[in-house]
Copies of this chain bind each other. A is one copy, B any other.
Amino acid sequence: MSGDEETRRARAALARTVEPGDEVVGRWLARLGPVEVWQALRADGPPPEGMSADRWAGLRSRARHAEPGRDLERIVRLGGRFVCPGDREWPSQLDDLGVAAPVGLWVRGACSLRFVSLRSVALVGARACTDYGAHVAAELGTSLAERGWTVVSGAAFGVDAAAHRGALAVGGSTVAVLACGVDVPYPAAHAELLGSIVGGGLLVAELPPGDRPTRSRFVQRNRVIAALTRGTVVVEAARRSGSLITARQAGRLGRHLMAVPGPVTSGLSAGTHRLIREEATLVADAAAVIELVGDMGELACAPDEPAVPRDLLSRPAGEVLDALPADSAVAVEEVARGACTSPAAALARLRELNTLGFVERVGELWRVSRAGPRHADEPRARAHAGA
């Protein structure tokens, strides 16, 4: 087994053993690395600094039952993968979580998590939202997706589901970060929605396949949503709502914190109004959201300009981009023929390229972004010249 493979197996085993966001283990990992931590958990040694004996016993009991090889096979059978820090697909913004960063992420869906999350916004809010909240979440989901932004949420009832569905309705890119395994249909009534998200976007989880959600896993899941995105929009929230936790975490991580106002007569807007009074920016539509998140520090890019240089694209994405004619829109099938791949794979690459600002959708067809000839051709030419 290569060193890389050993590290990946150790991370998979830790994902099965350690609860998300465990900062004691996180500090230990930062000091020793995953392979040594995993070995220590399987050996008969003392607990790391700051960990109670009970917790240590619990972790070691879990470690005895972990089967990382089986989990890694299982995610492959699901058509997914286990993405680790250092991987090409790892979204490096998660490193902002420091010792609370995930040990790895189990991912299902055809797009690159790193690419689709580069220009992403979280939409979160009440499960028991009002018709108004569902309407606004769906509208925002749709409008953000139409402008090439990825909609990230938690696949819960209410605001979450409306946001995902709004993005899916226009063939946009959407990511559901789960508090359970990516093969667990939770909530059960959302089995079909989760299937659609695998088809048109990504399911992402810290928990390995088969794991069930718990209250604390929901709370920890929220930190991943906050860190993955450039900003979090709270659509509706009661005065003491869980979505406010995601929201404030986004603020602490230096992400944009936004909230949608509503009628002052609605208890489900009391939380967003409070956020606006205290720290959030009021946003009323997708344009306001993009105005805010579109110019964030290292991720900044001019409007309509690609978010990454052409030569940072994966080879399959580059081939799909090359397959698009310079001046007309074409169907996915034609792109697939040009790039010598399947239509499904071509569509996944087109969605990534859309998020990255290279291509845009015209009804059912795709074309190079109109801004492309002006902004993107030059770096593209340079990239080819330098290759």
Contact = CB atoms under 8 A, between A and B. Distances in A.
Please tell me how many copies of the chain the complex holds: 2
Contacts of A273: 261, 282, 284
A281 B277 CA distance: 7
Contacts of A282: 261, 273, 276-277, 282
Interface string A276-302: 110001101100100000000000000
Contact of A263 (B262, B276, B281, B285): B262
A114 interface: no
A272 to B, nearest CB: 9
Given A277-B282, A281-B277, A132 B265 contact: yes
A288 B281 CA distance: 18
Contacts of A270: 284
B284 A136 contact: no
A260 interface: yes
A261 B264 CA distance: 7
Given A270-B284, A282-B282, A284-B270, A276 B261 contact: yes
A212 interface: no
A135 B264 CA distance: 10
A269 interface: yes
Interface string A19-48: 000000000000000000000000000000
A263 B284 CA distance: 9
Contacts of A135: 265
Contacts of A276: 261, 276, 282
Contacts of A260: 264
A260 B264 CA distance: 8
Contacts of A281: 277
Nearest to A261: B261
Between A270, A282, A285, the greatest number of chain B beta carbons within 10 A of the residue's beta carbon is seen for A282
Contacts of A285: 264
B265 A269 contact: no
A131 to B, nearest CB: 11
A173 to B, nearest CB: 24
A293 B277 CA distance: 15
Given A261-B269, A264-B284, 17 more contacts: A132-B263, A135-B265, A261-B261, A261-B263, A261-B264, A261-B273, A262-B262, A262-B263, A262-B264, A263-B263, A264-B285, A273-B282, A276-B276, A276-B282, A277-B281, A277-B282, A282-B282
28 contacts: A132-B263, A132-B265, A135-B265, A136-B264, A136-B265, A260-B264, A261-B261, A261-B263, A261-B264, A261-B269, A261-B273, A261-B276, A261-B282, A262-B262, A262-B263, A262-B264, A263-B263, A264-B284, A264-B285, A270-B284, A273-B282, A273-B284, A276-B276, A276-B282, A277-B281, A277-B282, A277-B288, A282-B282
10 A-B pairs with least C-beta separation? A261-B261, A264-B284, A276-B282, A273-B284, A277-B282, A273-B282, A263-B263, A262-B263, A260-B264, A132-B263
